[in-house]
Structure 1
Amino acid sequence: MYMFPHNLWNPTMTLYDVIVVGAGIEGSSTAYQLARQGKKTLLLEQFPIPHSRGSSHGQSRITRKAYGEMEHYTVMMKEAYPLWETLERESGTKIFRETGMLTMGSSDKFTMGTIRCLQRHGIAHEVFDYRGIKQAYPMIEYPKDYTFVVDKTGGILRADKALLAYHETFRRFGGEIRDGEKVVDIVPGDTVEVRSASSNTYRGRAVVLAVGAWATKILPSMQLRLPLKVLRINVLYWKEKVPGRYGADRFPVFLQENAVENHAVYGLPSEEYPGLVKICLHWGPEVDPDIRDMADDSWVIDKMKGYVSRHFPELESEPAIAETCMYTWSEDENFILDRHPTWKNIIIGAGFSGHGFKLAPVVGKVLAELATNQTPSYDMTPFRIQRFRQNSKL
């Protein structure tokens, strides 16, 4: 990477308390939290806003409280819900719609863990056998030996509206957004310099890197190689044979672990496109984020056609719409929320592994705490970089 000569530094330029790089949902939530606290905050984004080249675009995401074997997220979700409500009030935007969240399996670890988690945390839920689930949701078909559980607090987050609400509210609190500013260099120090492809230089007392899939490119330039990989995800929509059959007023969001070749399948009711149900494989081909459109993902669509025809008899078995997004997958599927091992005023939020959107309000709060030297609100053990020490270059 080309290093700009230090004599180009302009001592009169603005000094920000925190610069947040990446205006996806995690970076935007972080910037919002900082501006809300009165910090002079700059939010940088490499693409013009809005765009569809990252991981935060699109109209809907699943939210839920139950997290099976990863109960530290259940604890965080208890705060995420009221924080989403705060954003709704401040922005005047309706973001959450409750539908319930359905999980199913044949006494598998995930389904049984979800039930235990719901019970331990006193979360409203209902458990069904095959007969009960056919009465509740006759439009699906799964094996008769399955157990089914509905987390009644689950539902839909309106993703595009949430991201826009963060941007608008961030600005209202005094924050500054600069889009079309691709970061090409970060110079550590007591004051961090962030340099863009358009030859602009920004200075901050701290920097938060919430760059999504581009963490795989930016972090190695900072002597930090973490076990992350970028996956291209097919976002598939399937047409109802009877309009309204899978509407959000009668059908929940759902998640089935180990559904297709040991990977999960998730779905949402026909909410964003009239008459189309969103059902997707929670996996895809590994890609370079800058050339993701070249990936061969035909196998994903083939597998999903079989899944839909088996389990959703009242949907057409050819996808009506195919869109894409990206996951940045961490080795253990836990987030990375930590300070750089060498430069403590550079904060990293990465590896959200396709389940970070619902937790964005809490992620933003924690990253803002790290950036301002506050004690984090949660036990950070599951999120520390140090956990990868055995197979990473730190």
Structure 2
Amino acid sequence: MANYDWIVVGGGITGAALSYELARQGGSVLLLEKEALPASATRYSYGGLAHWAGKTPLLKALGEEGIQRYRTLSEELEADIHFRELDLLLLVAPGYSVETVEADLADCRIPPQRIPVETACELEPLLQPAALEGVLWAQHGHIHPWLTTLAFRRAFQRLGGSLLFQSVTGLRRQGQRITGVETPADFHGAAQVVVCAGGWTRALLRQAGIYAPIYFTHAESLELEPATVRLRTIVMSAPVQRLELERQAAHPDRDPLWDKPGQELCPPILDVGILQFLDGSIRLGQISRVLTDPQAQLDATSGEAQIRAQVGRYLPQVAQLPGRWCHCLVAFSGDHYPLVGSLPGWEGLQLFSGFSSPLAILPALARRFAQQAYGQADEWLPSLSPARFTAPSPPAPSLEGERTRNCLSPLLR
């Protein structure tokens, strides 16, 4: 039985980044992931970095800090993460006016600019101009999320960190203290266990008799094979419906239903998103469903048809390219902010999860978490503590404003 300072549960991009930062601080860290290439939110991420989209002081500060880190992250991690900055075209969805969407985004860190349809089609010649009712433009960051995850993992291992591909079957507790994790073959002990399991976080905690205000959607997207068709931009519809879906799904009246299998708490939504990676593959999506069973079976044929039909309105040349349907869980909290820190009432247990869209702010939060863990006070992290759902929030301006409208990033996570 090995004992560590830290066990990080979940080896996606959040867990990999946090493990790396904890190891940089000199901690002995074990990172556990069930598979070498899991069908997770990291694997099926768009890789978008909506650093411009924050509307609160916290998200604006972390967005700026995050994009600055990404610009040098390949050098730091000694690996190419395919970082680039692209034109993002926000296509105003039917039923909304461009004036309404523009006004809603006016308080972003870098507000998107309205552009003529003709200009949008010059930036992205594959667009169908007749389908465009209005377009906003922003400069959007982008990485390859899986290559970035691998880069964090390898840098973590160079620092002496341990990576094991084992399923975590449970948390071991002594009273109100978590002492380690169970796997099918072993027990691993640690002074602190950090759960970075994304959409599986709730199920893992509930199995140990622990409640946390964390939820998940079932996200459906398509992964198209590398194509000769070349997209010049990132395309997505606006406003993002998923923000309202999450707000409704996490309403206190619905909370008891989350632990009952077979519940669909809200009607599904489809936010159009189209992005091409440097290898030529294309991501189309996405449908979000609020089903309380994390292992719910979805209709892949129906989901694929719906996505292709909606994308086809805007980019018909792309919509029918060959590819496959993908499905994963995406975690979120009750106020669209991640859960970062100790869970009230428990010792030895921390959360670094609930990121609807982790990428833009992830490097900054992972570094701040690790620095605070080793004695450096942080101005922002107290506002993200899970304790905010059970006690008055710490005095900080970062959570002021309309929580349901804080960013666009959940689609391009």
Question: Where on the TM-score scale, by shorter chain, does this alignment land: which range?
Answer: 0.7 to 0.9
The amino acid of 1:279's aligned partner reads: L
What's 2:253 paired with? none
Change (3 A) 1:344 1:148: farther
What's 1:329 paired with? 332
2:105 to 114, 122, 126: 114
> Counterparts of 2:354 and 2:85 in 1: how far apart (Å)?
27
How far 1:119 moved relative to its partner?
4.4
> Counterparts of 1:282 and 1:69 in 2: how far apart (Å)?
25
> Counterparts of 1:148 and 1:244 in 2: how far apart (Å)?
22
How far 1:163 moved relative to its partner?
0.7
Change (3 A) 1:41 1:270: closer
> Counterparts of 1:85 and 1:42 in 2: how far apart (Å)?
28
What's 2:293 paired with? 288
Aligned-residue identity in percent:
20
> Counterparts of 2:175 and 2:6 in 1: how far apart (Å)?
13
The amino acid of 1:283's aligned partner reads: S
How far 1:36 moved relative to its partner?
0.8
What's 1:252 paired with? 234
Q: Is the 8 A contact 1:65 1:151 kept in 2?
A: no
How far 1:215 moved relative to its partner?
1.1
Q: Tell me the secondary structure at the aligned position of residue 166 of structure 2.
A: coil
> Counterparts of 1:68 and 1:268 in 2: how far apart (Å)?
21
Q: Is the 8 A contact 1:232 1:325 kept in 2?
A: yes
Change (3 A) 1:27 1:151: same
The amino acid of 1:257's aligned partner reads: P
How far 1:129 moved relative to its partner?
2.4
> Counterparts of 2:100 and 2:55 in 1: how far apart (Å)?
8
Q: Is the 8 A contact 2:46 2:283 kept in 1?
A: no
How far 1:303 moved relative to its partner?
2.5
Alignment gaps of 5+ in structure 1: 1-12
Output aligned runs, 1:198-347, within 5 Å.
Answer: 198-237=184-223, 243-246=228-231, 250-258=232-240, 263-269=270-276, 271-272=278-279, 274=280, 276-284=281-289, 286=291, 288-289=293-294, 291-292=295-296, 294-317=297-320, 320-347=323-350
Alignment gaps of 5+ in structure 2: 243-267, 392-413
Q: What are the Cα deviations for residues 294-329 of structure 1, in whole angstroms up to 9, with x where unaligned?
A: 223544333322212211133344763222222123
Change (3 A) 1:188 1:350: farther
Output aligned runs, 1:150-161, within 5 Å.
Answer: 150-152=137-139, 154-161=140-147
Q: Tell me the secondary structure at the aligned position of residue 195 of structure 1.
A: strand
Q: What are the Cα deviations for residues 116-147 of structure 1, in whole angstroms up to 9, with x where unaligned?
A: 42447xxxx65302233233323223678844
Change (3 A) 1:74 1:309: same
> Counterparts of 2:224 and 2:159 in 1: how far apart (Å)?
41
> Counterparts of 2:122 and 2:55 in 1: how far apart (Å)?
29
Q: What are the Cα deviations for residues 19-52 of structure 1, in whole angstroms up to 9, with x where unaligned?
A: 212111111111100111111212122x13x222
Change (3 A) 1:208 1:169: same
TM-score (norm 1): 0.79
> Counterparts of 1:270 and 1:181 in 2: how far apart (Å)?
30
| Structure 2 residue 7 is matched with structure 1 residue 19 | yes
How far 1:348 moved relative to its partner?
0.7
How far 1:178 moved relative to its partner?
1.8
Between the two proteins, the alignment pairs up a number of residues equal to 361
What's 1:3 paired with? none
The amino acid of 2:126's aligned partner reads: M
The amino acid of 2:385's aligned partner reads: R
1:356 to 345, 358, 368: 358
How far 1:284 moved relative to its partner?
3.1
Q: Tell me the secondary structure at the aligned position of residue 34 of structure 1.
A: helix
What's 2:165 paired with? 179
Q: Tell me the secondary structure at the aligned position of residue 6 of structure 2.
A: strand
Q: What are the Cα deviations for residues 242-271 of structure 1, in whole angstroms up to 9, with x where unaligned?
A: 93342xxx2235453247976532221353
Change (3 A) 1:151 1:76: same
Q: Is the 8 A contact 1:335 1:351 kept in 2?
A: yes
Q: Is the 8 A contact 1:271 1:277 kept in 2?
A: no
TM-score (norm 2): 0.76
Output aligned runs, 1:63-102, within 5 Å.
Answer: 63-67=49-53, 69=55, 72-95=58-81, 96-102=83-89
Q: Is the 8 A contact 1:238 1:278 kept in 2?
A: yes
How far 1:223 moved relative to its partner?
4.5
What's 2:90 paired with? 103
How far 1:16 moved relative to its partner?
2.1
Q: Is the 8 A contact 1:194 1:201 kept in 2?
A: yes
Q: Is the 8 A contact 1:21 1:209 kept in 2?
A: yes
> Counterparts of 2:343 and 2:225 in 1: how far apart (Å)?
46
> Counterparts of 1:389 and 1:302 in 2: how far apart (Å)?
42
Deviates further, 225-234 or 91-100: 225-234
How far 1:171 moved relative to its partner?
0.8
The amino acid of 2:312's aligned partner reads: S
